[in-house]
Structures are given as C-alpha cells and as structure tokens.
Amino acid sequence: MVAEIHGHRGARGLWPENTLPGLSKAMELGVHALEFDVALTADRRLVLTHDLTVSAVTSADTKPLSHDDELYPYVGRPINELSLAQLRTLDVGVRFPRHLDDPFALTQVAMPETRMPTLGAVLGLVNAYAADDVRLHVELKSDPTRPGLTPDPQVFTELVIDELDRHGRLDGSAILSFDWRIVTAAAELAPATRRFALIEEDTLHWHGCLGDDIPAAAKAAGADTISPEHVMVDAGFMAQCDGAGLDVAVWTVNEPELAARLLDLGVSGIVTDYPDRMRELWLERGLELPSPVSPLRPVGV
C-alpha cells in the first residue's frame, strides 16, 4: 500500500487556503493530492471556499462591486447570495486571527490581494503545471441542515463533474463530501472517479441511523474511501473499513507523531495542513515521497 500525503485546502498551515498561489506552492512542495473546497455562487459559478458564508478569518472586504450595492459588506453573507464578481472583490490572501488559539495565523505566509478562484481556474492552473500525478480532491460543501445555504446535491454534483470533465481531470480527481447524497450522485454520474465519504461525530446524524458499522453504510452510499476525523480511528474502526473494502484517509493531522500512529494502524492517506512535516516523516520511514512539481516559468524565461 502506498501511503499518501494530502494537502489540506492546499497547505493551510503554510499558505492561504483555497487560493491559486497556495495550491501552486503546495504542488511545488510535493503532495500526492491537493484537497480544496467548492461552493456555488448566486450566478451558479463554482468557487473555492470552505464556508457557506464568507469567512471573516480568511476573507476581507475591499470595496463594493458598485457604489449602491445593498449586499455590501460581503463578509458574513451567504456564498449563494453573492455573485462571482462580488466575491472576486474580496482579499482572501491574508488570514485574520480572531482567536488567540488560531495556529495558522502564525505559520501562514500572507499573500495580499489574492482573489477567490473558480474551480475552472484551479483546473487550468493544474493543467498548466502538467501536474498529472497530483490528484485533485474536490470537497463539495453541503449541509442538509441548512437548505437555504446549500445547493441541490444532484445539480451541484453535476456541475462539478462537468467542469472536471471539461478540463480532462475526471480520472485524476476525487469527489469528497460530508453530505453523502453527493457521494451517491457522484457514483451514478462518474462511477470511475474516486469518492470519499467524509465523517465526523457532529455530522453522522445527517445520514439517519447508520448502525454500528459506519464504513459499511458509507460503502452502501457509494464511497470507495472513507475519510474520518482522526479521533474516530482505532483498530476496531480500521477492521470495519477493511471488511467494507474501503481505503481510509484521515483528517486533519498536523503532528508527525500522530501521523505515525495512524500509519501503523493502516490508513492510506494523511490529510494535513503541513505537508512539509509529513514529507519529513515519509523520508524517515522510507515511504514513497510525492515528487515536487516544477515551478511555472514566465513566458520567454
């Protein structure tokens, strides 16, 4: 089994999350997979953002799209209430600490004047890098308990799969979601594309009564990989995953000691904010390291 390093939101601990420069840096550092989040705007554009509302931690207003825009300021507004043009006015390259225990504001390199990218722009970037060996893990942000903020899961999944297909990336991608309706839709629409059922204790109730064997329920929903919060993983859980025939990619793991224990349990992927730390662990253990992608060069250089 090849153990993989998955860069969380690119590499959130090092560079601004869900941004083109952050994803570029993560590829140049070297990861097996880039994980990032996608939401749907008011004008049905797919944009990279973790939250269903504009986050005050990762986004800052700069100016309204027009002088009489009644939706301004945009921070705090639902993503699906705003157009792509409105969201593109935000600066998403600087982390704004609101809590003293936020570690990322201390370790993340600021990239001011960075704009929120579309999924199409990310796919174009990856193709420009010719990063065929880097798998794209696209998490579709959906919360069944907040239907006013969440697009129809079937339509949302179709839009994402169509965009991946348009850029020739279906074979090199995976669809991820805590909302297993999206996992099921992806299994029907793109059965050859990998599907990750994300789980945490707080969202298990979304799926009704799952019984004692959560991996088996995830398999029945159409997943081929289960991606749990690391606190849920122990030997018993891994045995259930093995019985269901599911790979296990565990999140979010930032300490090498914890990652080492999880690798010993048999997980196949470590989702991390700090791929640099995991690369050191991989090197110590003699595991296969993901190759850094060569930086892009300006035309004519």
**Is residue 298 a part of any domain in this protein?**
no
- Assigned token pair, 229: 């919060």
Question: What is d(CA 206, CA 266) in angstroms, rounded to the nearest whole number?
Answer: 27
pLDDT tens track for 176-226: 999 999 999 999 999 999 999 999 999 999 998 888 899 999 999 999 999
The CB density around residue 7, as the number of other CB atoms within 10 Å, is 33
Question: What is d(CA 70, CA 90) in angstroms, rounded to the nearest whole number?
Answer: 16
CB 1 within 8 A of CB 28: no
Q: What is the DSSP letter of 99?
A: S
Question: What is d(CA 228, CA 232) in angstroms, rounded to the nearest whole number?
Answer: 6
CB 100 within 8 A of CB 92: no
Question: What is d(CA 274, CA 259) in angstroms, rounded to the nearest whole number?
Answer: 12
Q: What pTM value is reported for the model?
A: 0.96
Helix (H, G, I), strand (E, B) or coil at 206: helix
Question: What is d(CA 36, CA 19) in angstroms, rounded to the nearest whole number?
Answer: 9
**Is residue 65 a part of any domain in this protein?**
no
State the residue for tokens 């196949």: 268
**Is residue 150 a part of any domain in this protein?**
yes
CATH number at residue 175: 3.20.20.190
Question: What is d(CA 7, CA 34) in angstroms, rounded to the nearest whole number?
Answer: 5
**Is residue 103 a part of any domain in this protein?**
no
**Is residue 205 a part of any domain in this protein?**
yes
Question: What is d(CA 186, CA 85) in angstroms, rounded to the nearest whole number?
Answer: 29
pLDDT tens track for 22-50: 999 999 999 999 999 999 999 999 999 99
pLDDT band at 96 (very low <50, low <70, confident <90, very high): confident
Which positions ≥6 away from 246 have C-beta within 8 Å?
Answer: 215, 218, 219, 223, 224, 225, 226
**Is residue 168 a part of any domain in this protein?**
yes
**How many separate domains does the chain show?**
1
**Is residue 94 a part of any domain in this protein?**
no
**Is residue 274 a part of any domain in this protein?**
yes
Question: Residue 36 is inside which H or E element, if any?
Answer: strand 33-40
Predicted confidence (pLDDT) at residue 300 exceeds the cutoff of 90: no
pLDDT tens track for 118-177: 999 999 999 999 999 999 999 999 999 999 999 999 999 999 999 999 999 999 999 999
- Which domain does 142 fall in, by range? 4-52+117-285
Helix (H, G, I), strand (E, B) or coil at 289: coil
Q: Using CB atoms within 10 Å of the CB of residue 190, give its burial: 0 to 12 exposed, 13 to 18 middle, 19+ buried.
A: buried
